[in-house]
Every structure is written in C-alpha cells, then in structure tokens.
Amino acid sequence: MAKVSSSASLSGKPPVFEVAGDDAVKKARAELDAHTVEMMAWHFHPSTGCPFWLEEATKLPFDPLTDVRCFDDLKKFPPFEDEWLRGGPVRRWVPKGLADQPVFVFETGGTTGVPKSRYNSRDFRTDYEQFSATLPEQYFPKGANWLMLGPSGPRRLRLSIEHLAQFRGGICFCVDLDPRWVIKLIQKGWMEHLEAYKQHCIDQAITILEAGHDIRCMFTTPKLLEALALALEKKGTTIGKVGITGIFSGGTEFTPQWTRFAVEELLDGAFMTPTYGNTLMGLAASRPVVPADGYTIAYYAPQPRAVIEVVDFDNPDERVPYGGTGRVRLTTLTKETFIPGFLERDEGERELPYAKYPWDGISGVRPFRKLAATTTVGVY
C-alpha cells in the first residue's frame, strides 16, 4: 500500500512559514564553510586532533588541512562507517587539544551486541544551551522546574535535560526508562510486561507531578506523553491542569497526525516542541508546528555544529530537490567530534530554509525504508 503524506512541502502549495531570504542563506553557508575549514585545522593538526583522525589522515588521498576549503569538500572523505563507533578504546576519539577535559561516553543502540558510543566533554551542554534559546519563555519560563521522563542510563538525554533545566535556573526531576529492556520486551512478545513497565514509569511521573515540586516543563517521548495524558485523564485531570506549560519531545513517531492529536486532545493547552536528535548530532529544533502547515514537522540542524542533508538513496553525495524524499546524511563538526557524511537510519523530505534557521531542513522523518523492517521503533 502506498503511503501518502499531507506534508505541505509535497503538496505544491506555497509555504506557510517564513522562508529564509537568499542573503541569509548565503551568509549561513559562508559561516558553515569557514567553520568547516576551522574544524579541519583542529581535527587534523597533530597537536590538537584525535588519534583516530590523525591515523585516518595518513590513508586519505588528500590533505584535509589544505584540500578542504568549504563544506562540500567534505565529500572527499570516504563514507563514515558506523562500525568505527563500536567498542574501545574510546580515547582514540578524544582530541589532543581537549585531553585534560573530563570524558563522558554516551551510547546509542546496544539492545544486543556492542553499542555505538560517542565521546563527549562539553558538547551536550553546548547543544542544549543553544537549544535553550529556541524555547519560548511563555511556555518554558526561566527558573521553572522540569520533569525528565525518558531514557537515561548510558544515553546523554538525562544529563542534557538536567543541564538544560539548570541552565535555565530550574531543577530537574527524573524518571528513568530503559529502552533496551523495552525493545527486548517487544521482541519477546511480552506485551503485558511492556504495559506494566510503562505503567511503572507513568506512576512514578504522576507521583512526582503531584508532590508539590511546581514542575512546569517536561521532556518526554511521544509514547510516554500519550500514556501520561491518558493516565491523568483517568484521574480526572490533564497535562495542563497538573501545571505543565511546555513540553519538549522527540522521536521518529512524531508524525503530523500524532502531533495534531496531541495538540487537540492530550496537552490541554500546554505547548509542545518536537525535536530530532541523537547522540551523534545533538539536537535539531523544529519550526513552529501549526495547523495551517498541516502540522508539518520540519527540523533544522544546529548549524554549523551539525548539518543535516537529505540525499539521494543511491547517490549520497547528491541532495534531493526541495520536497523530494531522501536519506538523512549527518555531519558533525564540533571541536570534540568530527563525523563527515554519516548516513542515518532515517529518511524524510528536504525542506526549504526557514527565516530563523537559514539552511536546509527535513520533514516527515521516519525510519529508512530499507532498514525499517528490521528496526523496532516507537518503543518509548
């Protein structure tokens, strides 16, 4: 069966958001090109680069220090293999220029086998501080306390959300969820256990929300948000009535329909901002999600620290036209981490630059069709 999307970008209708002007786009591109050159100078200089890239540079048929003059020159690198991120030693990723900084390791995947890991020192804080600037004060007031209801453990989310709350002057209360166990429950078909585990998380969240902590902001996942809203409704209350005014959430199940349902029926006036992010990239903010735009959710990477491109399925060096469908290609360009042209496990539609983020975006993010059958999604 063919799936149709009601995304405005595919409908042929004029965009209902403020498209970035040419000058802003050019300026952003120039900044990205300059940042790329700066990052090459850092990651490939013997005094500052990490052991992995310094060794890789010896195998390259070009010199990143001199032959990369703009972002598009990063295509000279061979495809980044995600297998490189599995296993140790993690210190091979730590740039010499940051060797004296504390090292965090954040993991992704890992239900079975060795998880992929990313070294972090301060990036997660920087990412969330920048993201903080995108949160509307009206719904995410400074000084407000937060609830983090979602995956913690080896993921970076717990520390990141806690830092976000603290950065904004609040305190973060946490309820943990172990996504690896959730995936196992699904794979084993233990649906009663899955339901019980979800309920266990929701019970804890409600206890905290009703304990007088004056929590007004929340991070959670779509599945947990649904469960929380329904559990509150059963108790005769709502997300809005327990005091939540702003919700920051993320996940590939963030479809326009789901968002519409949440806005119309679950949130009771609370504001929700979808995000797309992962351990490798950081956090992509969304442009405002509005009914007039068919609840299209379009994400914009935190350029120049990370870049999302929507590329041809067969030729990852070629971007698809605006509105076209392609695979997500991710480039990370921070002083801590350099990952060029990483092909993500997601696909979506290429979106026009937005006034606030004058570079390409992506909408309709969903699991990459060739991998979707083997991927367990929407689990938490």
Partner 1 sequence: MHLPAWRFGKPYESLERDTLVHFLTGEPVAEVSQIGGALVGRDLQKAAQARAALLAIDPETIVERLQTAGNLYANGTVTLGDTKQSPEDFVKQQSATTGLPESLCRANMQKNMFVLSNMDRILDALSRGLDTKILWQGHGVEHRGVTVSYQPQSPVLGLVLPSNSPGVHTLWLPVIALGVGLVMKPGSQEPWTPYRMAAAMVEAGIPAEAISLYPGATDVGAGILAGCRRSMIFGSAKTVDQYRGNPGVQVHGPGFSKIILGDDCVDDWERHLDMMCESVAINSGRGCINASAIYASRHTKAIAEAVAARLGPIDVKPPDDPEAKLAAFTIPGAAKAIWGQIEGGLKDPGVTHATAPYGPRLVEGERCGWLRPTVAHCASPEPAIAKGEYMFPFVSVVECPQERMLDAIGPTLVCSAITHAAGFQDRLMSCTHIDRLNLGPIPTTKLDWLQPHEGNIIDFLYRSRALQLPATASA
Binding stretches for partner 1 (CB under 8 A):
1-6, 189, 191, 195, 226-227, 229-230, 233-234, 255-258, 260-261, 265-266, 294-295, 378
Alpha-helix runs per DSSP H in 5-100:
8-11, 22-43, 51-59, 64-67
Minimum CB distance to partner 1 smaller for 59 or for 234: 234
Minimum CB distance to partner 1 smaller for 30 or for 196: 196
Minimum CB distance to partner 1 smaller for 288 or for 378: 378
Closest approach, Cβ 369 to partner 1, in A, equals 15
Contact 370, 328 (CB under 8 A): no
Minimum CB distance to partner 1 smaller for 197 or for 261: 261
Contact 346, 309 (CB under 8 A): no
Closest approach, Cβ 325 to partner 1, in A, equals 16
Contact 16, 293 (CB under 8 A): yes
Closest approach, Cβ 257 to partner 1, in A, equals 4
Closest approach, Cβ 146 to partner 1, in A, equals 23
Region of 126 (left: φ > 0; alpha: ψ -120 to 50; beta: rest) is alpha
Which helix (H) or strand (E) segment is 290 a member of? none
Minimum CB distance to partner 1 smaller for 1 or for 133: 1
> Distance (Å, rounded) from C-alpha 215 to C-alpha 207?
12
Closest approach, Cβ 222 to partner 1, in A, equals 9
| CB-based contacts of 233-240 (< 8 A; 24+ apart in sequence) | 235/206, 238/268, 239/266, 239/267, 239/268, 239/270, 240/267, 240/268, 240/269, 240/270
Minimum CB distance to partner 1 smaller for 13 or for 142: 13
3-state secondary structure of 75: helix
Region of 151 (left: φ > 0; alpha: ψ -120 to 50; beta: rest) is beta
Closest approach, Cβ 293 to partner 1, in A, equals 11
Q: Is 228 exposed, middle or buried (0-12, 13-18, 19+ CB in 10 A)?
A: buried
Closest approach, Cβ 209 to partner 1, in A, equals 19
User: Nearest 10 degrees: CA dihedral of 226, 227, 231, 236?
Assistant: 0
> Which residues, other chains included, contact 263 with Cβ-Cβ below 8 Å and sequence gap of 6+?
272, 289, 295
> Distance (Å, rounded) from C-alpha 119 to C-alpha 156?
10
Closest approach, Cβ 331 to partner 1, in A, equals 31
Minimum CB distance to partner 1 smaller for 58 or for 374: 374
Minimum CB distance to partner 1 smaller for 28 or for 224: 224
89 upstream amide cis, omega within 30 of 0: yes
Minimum CB distance to partner 1 smaller for 127 or for 349: 349
Closest approach, Cβ 290 to partner 1, in A, equals 13
Contact 156, 124 (CB under 8 A): yes
